[in-house]
Amino acid sequence: MWDLGHFGPKEYSACIVAALILVVLSKHRVRRTVKLPPGPPRLPIIGNLHQMTASRLWEKATEWRDQYGDIVYVENIGKPLLILNSYEVASELLDNRSAIYSSRPNLIMAMELQGWAWVTSMLPYCEKLRQHRAYLHRFFQTPEALNYFELQERETCVMLNGLLHSPEKYADHVRRLPGAVILKNVYGYEVQKLNDPMVQSGEQVLRRGGESLQYILLDFLPWCHPANPIPVKHVPEWTPFVKFPKVAREGRQTVATFKSMTRELARKQVMEENAGQSMASILLSENMKDDGSIDDEQNIYDASAMAFLGGTDTSVTAIMTFILAILKNPDKQSRAQVEIDGAIGTDRLPTVSDVDALPYVQAICTEILRWEVILPLGIAHNLTENDEYMGYHIPAGTMVVPNVWSMALDERYYPDPLSFKPERWMPGETKEGVPSLMPQDYVFGLGRRICSGKKWAEHIVFLAVASILATFHIEKGKTANGETIPPNDNYLPSILRALGPSQCKITPRSEKAASLIRQSVAAL
Ligand code: HEM
């Protein structure tokens, strides 16, 4: 079966045929007199398409940085893509020139075929996007709006209790945490058990989203464009050698189910008299007219569902990375525990207000975001007008991708970048001094499309890390023969990196720590 997600000889031949059609159809090819940014040599017709399906494109792009510099230009059957390999260029283009670098590309599989076009992070720069961002900003950048600190602390406590009872399921307890807080924040929905159907539905739809990105090749094939006489939407599933129509249909169904489930949750909030305060209930009631209809109803549903999608898997990867970092660097755990015991004692659990009293724990959180970045290529932006930069021409319509991976491993800022070193964030502890570039300045994106959940995510990661360190001891697992089991550091190489569990031992630091957890849960 021809899977457009993987580039092989059949796909290669198909691309050549497609490109030839393109060449024949375009009677007058525009002669390039402008100087394009540097990049790897392009093959006739297909350009760099054969290099685009590398499973870790961010690593390939980082290699290109050494050869071609901070901006790397590639072309796929005439479609331009610019990779920004350093913070400086990403900041100049995505931030300082955000007026023209803030749109998003139209991705055929995701948006045309699977029905993701409503998702905030996929919207072009438009009024609808501004409205979504305003809704999200109100509830996710302002903790007081829904008192999300209290919810984060509460659900962190539930996670600790889970670790106490079934430490071997630690990945499930971690997975539950961000989903439970967001579902309560957004819909007033209470997650009751580990494998909650709503949390699972969010995970499932995100998996479909990740899958859709494997079909990026469709965006480069000329006949796939919606303006063509045979729109790609109408390619039947029985078409020989192509798998994408089936993947598209399955994705469409999952997205539609997710949309109707989240819509129902939101509607329930506004219909029920005793429904608590949540993002959906507040926005829907504020916008309700006398006749019961709701202004901007669809945008409220969509922005609410986006919070659920944007905040769950990303935060889970950060917390899983923390556990991996401790398994590989046990000395960091001991130092953090000494800090916690000294600053807040052992009679209570940490809260978000302890951030300033726990600089080393905070340094661990910062280093987690840098050491194993979660979205190594961020989310692609789209340039809406021709631009000139460093003497190069960047054509309108260029897909612009920040290489967050390369920024996080930039030795100019982070000596020995592959090592997990929270010390680099502690003033006076390294001879180079604290790096002038924080990962928080780029791992959440840049410019007008910066992540709407940045603050919320930083808070939940801090709480989870500080609370686990305060109460548990994490160590590598052992085989029956007493040999140490190496931790699992095999991240899924998708655009949103995910990490499975390691075989390890997670035990309460003391009977007092275990009893503190039990008492805190009982008091919820
Ligand atoms: C550690 C956790 C997280 C990371 C690393 C992360 C990272 C990112 C990145 C890199 C972008 C793209 C920014 C750009 O295009 O320049 C983004 C967009 C977005 N994120 Fe997050 N995110 C996280 C958590 C969250 C949470 C908790 C929410 C909940 C509201 C959220 C909601 C969004 C939204 C709505 C967008 C789209 C913004 C737009 O397109 O205008 N994210 N995030």
Give the DSSP letter string of 90-120: HIIIIIITTTTS-B----IIIIIIS--TTSG
Mean pLDDT over the full length of the chain: 89
The domain 20-523 is classified under which CATH number: 3.90.1150.10, 1.20.1260.10, 1.10.630.10, 3.40.30.10?
1.10.630.10
CB of 439 shorter than 6 A to ligand 1: no
Mean per-residue pLDDT, 194-211: 84
CB of 314 shorter than 6 A to ligand 1: yes
Least confident of 136-145, 483-492, 511-520: 136-145
Which of 126, 403, 451, 497 gets mutated to test ligand 1 (max ligand atoms within 8 A of its CB)? 451
Look up residue 415 and give its two tokens: 């000596």
Q: Tell me phi and psi for residue 167, to 5 degrees.
A: -60, -25
Q: Tell me phi and psi for residue 283, to 5 degrees.
A: -65, -40
Distances from the Cα of 506 to the Cα of 164, 298, 469, 472, 477, angstroms? 8, 44, 11, 6, 9
Give the integer Cα–Cα distance in Å for 339 and 317.
25
Mean per-residue pLDDT, 386-409: 97
| Residues 106, 110, 113, 115, CA torsion sign | negative
Q: How confident is the model at residue 6 (pLDDT cuts 50, 70, 90)?
A: very low
Residue 146's Cβ-side half-sphere holds a number of Cα atoms within 13 Å equal to 27
Which of 94, 444, 446 gets mutated to test ligand 1 (max ligand atoms within 8 A of its CB)? 444
Give the pairing of strands 381-382 and 399-402.
antiparallel
Mean per-residue pLDDT, 273-295: 86
For residue 374, the tally of other CB atoms under 10 A from its CB is: 24
Torsion of CA 91, 95, 99, 100, to 10 degrees: 30
Give the integer Cα–Cα distance in Å for 78 and 213.
20
pLDDT, residue 27, reads 37
Q: With a cut of 90, say whether residue 4 has pLDDT above it.
A: no
**Strand (E) or helix (H) holding 21:** helix 9-25
DSSP 8-state code for residue 486: P
* Cβ contact 343:357 at 8 Å: yes
Query: What digits encode the pLDDT tens for the residues 74-122?
Result: 998 888 999 999 999 999 999 999 999 999 998 888 888 888 999 999 9
Instruction: Give 438 or 200, the one with higher predicted confidence.
Output: 438
Query: What digits encode the pLDDT tens for the residues 411-465?
Result: 999 999 999 999 999 999 999 999 999 999 999 999 999 999 999 999 999 999 9
365 known member of a binding site: no
ipTM associated with this complex: 0.99
| Closest ligand 1 atom to Cα of 129 | 41
| Closest ligand 1 atom to Cα of 456 | 27
Which residues pair with residue 74 across a beta bridge? 81
Question: Taking Cα atoms as reference points, which of 131, 119, 130 lies closest to residue 212?
Answer: 119
Which residues pair with residue 293 across a beta bridge? none
CB of 306 shorter than 6 A to ligand 1: yes
Q: With a cut of 50, say whether residue 126 has pLDDT above it.
A: yes
Instruction: Give 336 or 146, the one with higher predicted confidence.
Output: 336
Give the integer Cα–Cα distance in Å for 439 and 446.
11
Question: Taking Cα atoms as reference points, which of 207, 213, 206 lies closest to residue 182?
Answer: 206
| Closest ligand 1 atom to Cα of 448 | 41
pLDDT, residue 514, reads 98
For residue 237, the tally of other CB atoms under 10 A from its CB is: 12
Q: What ranges make up the beta strands (E) of 66-160?
A: 71-76, 79-84
CB of 365 shorter than 6 A to ligand 1: no
Which residues pair with residue 47 across a beta bridge? 43, 76
Least confident of 33-37, 114-118, 217-221, 387-391: 217-221
Which residues are CB-contacts of 54 (< 8 A; sequence separation ≥ 6)?
60
Which residues pair with residue 213 across a beta bridge? none
Least confident of 18-32, 103-117, 499-513: 18-32
Look up residue 425 and give its two tokens: 């964030």
pLDDT, residue 238, reads 83
Q: With a cut of 90, say whether residue 504 has pLDDT above it.
A: yes
CB of 453 shorter than 6 A to ligand 1: yes
pLDDT, residue 24, reads 43
Q: With a cut of 60, say whether residue 10 has pLDDT above it.
A: no
* Cβ contact 94:378 at 8 Å: no
Rounded to a whole number of angstroms, the CA Rg of the chain reads 24
Give the integer Cα–Cα distance in Å for 270 and 405.
42
pLDDT, residue 164, reads 97
CB of 263 shorter than 6 A to ligand 1: no
SS3 label, residue 473: strand
Share of the chain above pLDDT 70, in %: 91
Give the integer Cα–Cα distance in Å for 483 and 489.
18
Least confident of 26-35, 44-53, 302-311, 491-500: 26-35
pLDDT, residue 274, reads 62
Mean per-residue pLDDT, 484-488: 96
